[in-house]
Amino acid sequence: MDGEEAARAFGLGRPLSDPTNAASGLMGTIWQLRTDRGQYALKEVWHPLDESTAAASDAFTRRLIDRGVPAPRPLQTIQGTTLARIGTSTVRASEWVELREVDPDRELDAVGRLLALMHREPIRAAGPVDFWYTHPVEPPEWQATAKALQDARAPFATEFAASVPHFLDLQPLFRAPRDKQVCHRDLWPDNLKATAHGLCVIDWDNAGPAEATQELAMVIVGFWQGDPHRARSLYDAYCDAGGPGRIVEPGDFTMVLAQFGHFAVTAARRWMNTASPHEKDLYHAWFQEGWDQPFGMPQIAGLLQSLN
């Protein structure tokens, strides 16, 4: 990351040192930049992202920050755009916030209250919800991917093939979202952190139309860790704080089930499409995470019983 070029593009002042790699994930790398004006986060985006989509997610982020949702405030370039081209990379910038993991034994009530704040006074969304959050992977795609992994001698080819019946059995549970509003849509624990002053929501890139109940179910699945008391604590705090979502049927978990299926297939495709050993390990681990912690009808039934 060229810190001087990034600082010029976003008007951040004079860099005091080279940017440091603060975090890397499946969607990009976060660089920490210190300048004579403060500290900033530069996100090097690894996936295709156009200016209009990025600008819409930043506008949503600012509206929720103004509502009281704690999040790093996104920054614009000196030309007024959301994205900048730094070398060969697409980059967006925000304020820097020191983050740590949420303690599920002490902070789940705060997670529930924060999600309620994000869902109250909904910003209505026009247009369809992206298939990633609503539709299962079709059987031919499962079968073709399983065969391709086997032909490529992937180390997880056997596990992938064994997971296909599990995912296909869950497809009748899917239902279309209702009462669409703009949601974060990526509120897994990786993107809901704690700070010295409370919680903080990060990585708003995927914000768009969704249903509050289905996003609520996703947050509960992300944090419950198999403990019904944790699920109930988060859910009660959300409801008591005026959150509109209510989990009453298996279809409320559609966003979770859809993403888990797409995660598995996307991890497999990316494993096959890279020659980098590091990236192959990364995508293998992404698939393995879902394989080691399967989510299906027994878990849904247990959660429904705990929450109702």
Question: Nearest Cα to 114, choosing from 18, 15, 219?
Answer: 219
DSSP state letter for 191: G
Question: pLDDT tier at 23 (50, 70, 90 boundaries)?
Answer: confident
pLDDT of residue 47: 79
| Same-domain pairing of 56 and 177 | no
> Do 175 and 268 fall within a single domain?
yes
- On whether both 72 and 164 belong to a single domain, the answer is no
Q: Residue 197: phi, psi to the nearest 5?
A: -115, 5
Q: What is the mean pLDDT of residues 11-22?
A: 92
Q: Using an 8 Å Cβ cutoff, are 27 and 205 in contact?
A: yes
Match 């139309």 to its residue by tokens: 209
Quick one: pLDDT band at residue 175, thresholds 50, 70, 90? very high
Same domain for 44 and 69? yes
Q: pLDDT tens digits, residue range 67-109? A: 999 999 999 999 999 999 998 889 999 999 999 998 888 889 9
Q: Token pair of 113, please? A: 């209250």
Percent of the chain at pLDDT exceeding 90? 84
Quick: pLDDT tens for 102-140.
Answer: 888 888 999 999 999 999 999 988 788 999 999 999 999
> pLDDT tens digits, residue range 265-306?
999 999 999 999 988 999 999 999 999 988 999 999 999 999
Per-residue pLDDT at 219 exceeds 90: yes
Strands 38-45 and 74-75: unpaired
Residue 154 lies in a domain: yes
| More confident site: 231 or 2 | 231
Q: Do the domain assignments include residue 195?
A: yes
Collapsed DSSP state (helix, strand, coil) of residue 47 = coil
What is the structure's pLDDT at 50? 86
What is the spatial distance between Cα 254 and Cα 198, in angstroms, rounded to a whole number? 30
Write the single-letter amino acid at 128: P
Contact (CB, 8 A) for 159 and 291: yes
301 part of a folded domain? yes
Q: 71, 95, 119 — which closes off a domain?
A: 95
Separation CA 28–CA 22 (nearest Å): 11
Residue 133 lies in a domain: yes
Task: Please report which helix (H) or strand (E) contains residue 42, including its range.
Answer: strand 38-45
Number of domains in the chain: 2
- Contact call for residues 31 and 58 (beta carbons, < 8 A): no
Write the pLDDT tens digit of every residue in 26-50. Answer: 777 899 999 999 999 999 988 778 8
Same-domain pairing of 117 and 53: no
Which range marks the domain in which residue 120 is found?
108-307
**How many percent of the chain have pLDDT more than 70?**
100
Whether residues 132 and 86 fall in one domain: no
Are 126 and 250 in a shared domain? yes
Kindly state whether residues 126 and 272 are assigned to the same domain.
yes
In a domain, 192, yes or no: yes
- Mean pLDDT along residues 160-179: 95
Same domain? For 65 and 193 the reply is no
Given this model, what pLDDT does residue 157 score?
A: 97
Same domain, 280 and 132: yes
pLDDT of residue 230: 93
Residues 14, 35, single domain; the answer is yes
Domain C-terminal end among 45, 66, 95: 95
pLDDT classification of 202: cutoffs 50, 70, 90: very high
For residue 104, what pLDDT is reported?
82
The pTM of the full predicted model, rounded to 2 decimals, is 0.92
Crossing angle for the helix pair 254-272 and 277-292, to the nearest 10 degrees: 150
Angle between the N-to-C axes of helices 254-272 and 212-224, in degrees from 0 to 180, rounded to the nearest 10: 70
Tens digits of residue pLDDT in 239-259: 999 999 999 999 999 999 999
User: Is 302 contained in some domain?
Assistant: yes
